[in-house]
Amino acid sequence: MPDQGNAPIDSDLARRLVGSQFPHWAQLPISTVDPGGWDNRTFRLGAKLSIRLPSGPGYAQQVRKEQHWLPLLATGLPLPIPTPVAEGLPAEGYPYPWSIYQWLDGQVASETNVADPTRFATALAGFLNVLHQREPTGGPAPGSHNCFRGASPTVYADETLSALEALGTEVPAEPLRRLWDHAVGAHWDGDPVWFHGDVATANLLVSEGQLSAVIDFGCSGVGDPACDLVIAWTFLHGSARDAFRKSLNEDAATWSRGRGWALWKALISLVAALENNPKAAAGPRRDIQRLLLDFSGET
């Protein structure tokens, strides 16, 4: 569980923090945001601002990173990203730095609110292409601040193989091992690039059926961009996945490493679901089938 100190992370804490450190915003209403997030809890502050409170020490490392880099990354991107407007300090029994951002309108992406999945996929690929081309000098390398996104998927080899063993006959182990071996054998020899690190539906906003903003850069950094491709199997499928791959400026090896990242996440999620909430197993099972089908088309 995240270590949040002695203070429960709720709207009352958010109100006290704002009131004591930013009294000019103290009269603005504060409301919870659904979904509120796991790494960070998010609250709306008035009509134009949001509050982001890290839920643990690892996530707290992301505050200074986002405060410094997001304004520099934003220029020239084809979609809006969060704009930090203030950085708060630990107080009121809450032990971490925290942030206030400009509010971005939109709903988190879902199959029900994306009007044209192929157009959505193409727009997302276009955003990632530009992000991956931003000047990387001085950017943060993979590390604990972003759960080692941007490193080789081998960083999670032990977890992946342990999950495969634990799942036993729940999954087709041999084809998945071949997929994993292919991914970790697809070495990346390029120069480091900027990546988002957690391209998931919860971090993609949709307005009027179209992709309208990309949020939550807590896992961002400079390294291998393969981790940004996971959504190709967790959300996109069919012609939308084909359009995503065709529009990306990435090679086949990067696509394979992206499958490795997606397999790691699907396997550990399936293990957790079977142990704690079997009804939640449908999602990772679906992702595993998508990964195998995609891999079988190349072998």
pLDDT of res. 5: 52
The pLDDT value recorded for residue 18 is 98
> CA-to-CA distance for 217 and 199, rounded, in angstroms?
9
Per-residue pLDDT reduced to its tens digit, 117-150: 999 999 999 999 999 999 999 999 999 999 999 9
Say what percent of the chain tops pLDDT 90: 93
Whether the per-residue pLDDT at 4 is higher than 60: the answer is no
Judged by DSSP in three states, 24 sits in helix
**Which part of the chain is CATH 3.30.200.20?**
11-104
Neighbouring-strand partners of residue 40: 54
Angle, helix 173-185 to helix 157-167, in steps of 10 degrees: 170
Q: Which residue has the tokens 């539906």?
A: 201
* Distance between CA atoms of residues 33 and 292, nearest Å: 36
Q: What is the rounded average pLDDT of the residues 144-173?
A: 97
pLDDT (0 to 100) of residue 297: 76
- What fold characterizes domain 108-296? Aminoglycoside 3'-phosphotransferase; Chain: A, domain 2 (3.90.1200)
Pick the CATH number of 11-104 from 3.30.70.1340, 3.10.580.10, 3.40.50.300, 3.30.200.20: 3.30.200.20
pLDDT greater than 60 at residue 2: no
What is the dihedral sign for C-alpha 291, 132, 76, 42? positive
Angle subtended at Cα 48 by Cα 46 and Cα 49, rounded to the nearest 5 degrees: 75
Model confidence at 230: pLDDT above 80: yes
pLDDT surpassing 50 at residue 182: yes
Model pLDDT, residue 1 = 39
Q: Say if residue 298's pLDDT is above 70.
A: yes
- Calculate mean pLDDT across residues 218-224: 97
Split at pLDDT 50, 70, 90, the class of 270 is very high
Full-model pTM: 0.94
Across 27-38, b (16+ Cβ under 10 Å) vs e yields eeebeeeeeebe
Helix (H, G, I), strand (E, B) or coil at 214: strand
Q: Which of 4-18, 89-103, 113-127 has the lowest mean pLDDT?
A: 4-18
Please state, in angstroms and rounded to a whole number, the distance separating the CA atoms of residues 259 and 122.
19
Q: What is the mean pLDDT of residues 18-39?
A: 90
Span 267-278, average pLDDT:
97
Q: Are 241 and 232 in contact (CB under 8 A)?
A: yes
Please check the confidence at residue 37 and state whether its pLDDT lies above 90.
no
Tell me the pLDDT band of 6, cut-offs 50, 70 and 90: low
Determine the Cα–Cα distance for residues 189 and 83; give it in Å rounded to an integer: 32
Q: How far apart are CA 95 and CA 92, in angstroms?
A: 8
Beta strands in the chain (DSSP E): 30-32, 40-45, 49-54, 84-88, 98-102, 107-108, 193-195, 204-207, 210-214, 221-223
d(CA 231, CA 121): 10
Count the alpha carbons within 13 Å of 292 in the hemisphere toward its beta carbon: 15
What mean pLDDT is predicted for residues 93-118? Answer: 96
Where in the chain are all domains bearing CATH 3.90.1200.10? 108-296
What pLDDT is attached to residue 175?
97
Residue 175, amino acid: P
Quick check: bond before 284 cis, omega within 30? no
Rounded mean pLDDT of 259-287? 97
Could you give the percent of the chain with pLDDT greater than 70? 97
Name the pLDDT band for 7 (thresholds 50, 70, 90). low
Mean pLDDT of 246-272: 97
- Looking at residue 3, what is its pLDDT? 46
Q: How far apart are CA 213 and CA 116, in angstroms?
A: 16
